[in-house]
Amino acid sequence: MASKPKVLLTSNNLSKKALDLLRTRCSLEVCKSSKEGGSLTTQDIVNSVSGKYAILCHSGNPINEQILKAAGPSLKVVSTFSVGYDHIDLMSMKKYGVRLGYTPDVVTEPVAEIAVGLVIATTRRFFEANRELKTGGWKEWTPGWMCGRTIKGSTVGILGCGRIGTSIAEKLMNFKVSQLLYTSRSEKPEVKALGGQLVTVDELMERSDFVVVAAALNDDTKFIVSRERIATMKSNAILVNIGRGQLVDQDALVEALKEKRIRGAGLDVMTPEPLPLDHPLMSLDNVLLLPHIGTTTYETEEEMAMMTVQNILAAVDGHSIPNEVVF
């Protein structure tokens, strides 16, 4: 009887149902960190990857040439528990003939929900108000105390209007915004139907009261929210980022927030992750930070885990990977 293909897991904290399904066809090994309680390093994966048929990873595990070379010719597929794959060295994947599976579409709604939540919580100062309540700052109500700004009548800009950006736009239009601006490679009929106007990145940054960054990270979009573009934002503007930290010049954003050249920011993604406790963003009152929880719902993680496993099983069966990155 032929032995089962070996799969290296960078985490076993996934859906039991999904892992049990994978275990019926494959032999599973969980990669261990060399430091107790520490994150996996490249060397940890290198030490465990030899002879594996597949790697099941997530966005916190960079897969580079060193790992692919150490795996040897047995490695046929990497399946990532994420919609983004900027942590995967695509050139090396192509060089070594390794296929890549990912989990698109499933994260659209939960990430859009987080984006809308950040817009509301930042503009209405939820975290600041909660802190005042818990630390005795709430003595009495007086005019002007904890005032935020409403979304109604504002100009909202969606920077990167793919599936997630479109869902964000649909949700925010229910708040009776005055204008909806968006950027995309081409006009989006479904966003145009909402009253959306396709504009340049520069125009969006200059005109928007709320800038929601929802672009995918690649060579063209890295630091697309540049120092120069942050400098053109309205003084009452709020920037929300649910894409990737490196879409934004974070140092320039910190300066703008410190100097109150913009009103605030709501970030579910940042650089690096986790953000060090002594990072300047941590001490600012006009920024709301979340620990990259955009996809973190029970339903989403269950579906993502099944998709990640099914990508591997399809490869084992010699079939097309249902959600494959073609490069």
Q: Where in the chain is the domain with CATH 3.40.50.720?
A: 6-102+298-325, 107-289
Q: How far apart are the first and last CA of the chain?
A: 35
Exposure b/e, 242-264, CB count within 10 A at least 16 = b: bbbbbbbbbebbbebbeeeebbb
In this model, does residue 246 exceed pLDDT 70? yes
- Supply the pLDDT for residue 141: 86
Facing residues of 198 across strands?
182
- The CATH class of the 107-289 domain is alpha beta
Going from the C-alpha of 242 to that of each of 12, 197, 279, 287, the distances in angstroms are 26, 21, 19, 14
| Mean pLDDT score across all residues of the chain | 96
- pLDDT class of 315 with cuts at 50, 70, 90: very high
Residue with tokens 């399946």: 79
- Supply the pLDDT for residue 162: 94
How far is Cα 198 from Cα 201, in angstroms, rounded to an integer? 10
- pLDDT class of 175 with cuts at 50, 70, 90: very high
Q: pLDDT tens-digit profile of 94-117? A: 999 999 999 988 989 999 999 999
Query: Which residues form the catalytic set?
Result: 292
In this model, does residue 130 exceed pLDDT 90? yes
CATH of domain 6-102+298-325: 3.40.50.720
Q: pLDDT tens-digit profile of 154-164? A: 999 999 999 99
* Cβ atoms 312, 56 nearer than 8 A: yes
- pLDDT class of 287 with cuts at 50, 70, 90: very high
Q: Mark out the alpha helices in 124-217 (DSSP H runs).
A: 126-134, 163-172, 189-192, 201-207
- Supply the pLDDT for residue 38: 77
Phi, psi of 192 (to 5 degrees): -60, -40
Which three-class secondary structure state does DSSP give residue 232? coil
In this model, does residue 61 exceed pLDDT 80? yes
Exposure b/e, 9-41, CB count within 10 A at least 16 = b: bbeeebbeebbebbeeebeeeebeeeeeeeebe
- Supply the pLDDT for residue 121: 98
Which three-class secondary structure state does DSSP give residue 120? helix
Number of helical (H) and strand (E) elements in the chain, helices listed first: 12, 13
How far is Cα 138 from Cα 301, in angstroms, rounded to an integer? 38
Cα dihedral: 242, 245, 251, 257 (round 10): 10
- Supply the pLDDT for residue 37: 72
In this model, does residue 1 exceed pLDDT 60? no
In this model, does residue 302 exceed pLDDT 80? yes
Q: Mark out the alpha helices in the chain (DSSP H runs).
A: 16-23, 42-49, 65-71, 90-96, 108-123, 126-134, 163-172, 189-192, 201-207, 227-230, 250-258, 298-316
How far is Cα 208 from Cα 254, in angstroms, rounded to an integer? 19
Please return the burial class of 276, using the count of CB atoms within 10 Å of its CB with bins 0-12, 13-18 and 19+.
Answer: exposed
Q: pLDDT tens-digit profile of 34-53? A: 887 778 999 999 999 999 99
- Supply the pLDDT for residue 177: 98
**Residue ranges with strand state E in 140-216:** 155-159, 179-183, 196-198, 210-213
